[in-house]
Amino acid sequence: MKKIIIATRNRAKAEEIRQILGPGFEIETLLDHPDIALRPETGTTFKMNALAKARYVALKTRIATIADDSGLEVDALGLRPGIFSARFAGPNATDKENVDKLLHELERLTAPARRQARFRCIIAYVEQGKGEVTFEGNLKGAIALEPKGENGFGYDPVFLLPERGKTLAELAAEEKNAISHRAEALKRLKKWLEYGFSEE
């Protein structure tokens, strides 16, 4: 069983990754390593941030590391909040504060066509002495007029899937994990892990 550490202290995100990867992996998170303090995200792209986190944790733990950087891109806002999604309303903003700020900035745009958005995710995998790879996933949708649903986290309550007529927060975990941006990137990683660096 391969041991992997997920470079996060976000329990919801870690559980989502566990479910998507499935059995066959011994998974730890930074909750198991309280001595490791992640550095601030200073990269200008999702890829830069994901790789920086994975490299740092892999170096500190000598354990193969998965890190992700993901965020929401809203067309009408010039692809904001983007890499600043987690701190859109400020450095220590809550999910609700970020959602409230987003809805406030879009309040004059009520037509769905003006509220198009996408979630983007970059998954980085770093293994000391072997190398590093990244995988991308995307999920297209729109920003709802108001939050709906109790599941998920982050912007899930306002990320509307028009073809389903539901937000991500209204989906069961299994349903979300089948279609999410993080799921797409992780499924690519999981397939790659069958062979890994041994094939390169």
So which residues are the catalytic ones?
69
Residues in the chain: 200
Q: Considering Cα of 125, then 188, then 76, then 161, what sign does the dihedral take?
A: negative
Q: How far is CA 51 from CA 15, 101, 109, 177, in A?
A: 21, 28, 35, 23
Give residue 140's identity as a one-letter amino acid code: K
Asked if residue 68 lies in contact with residue 51, where contact means CB atoms within 8 angstroms, the answer is no
**Pseudo-torsion of CA 117, 53, 7, 174, nearest 10°?**
20
Q: Which helix (H) or strand (E) holds 84?
A: none
Q: How far is CA 79 from CA 19, 59, 113, 114, in A?
A: 29, 33, 15, 13
Instruction: Report how far residue 166's alpha carbon sits from residue 170's, in angstroms, rounded to the nearest whole number.
Output: 6
Asked if residue 13 lies in contact with residue 38, where contact means CB atoms within 8 angstroms, the answer is no
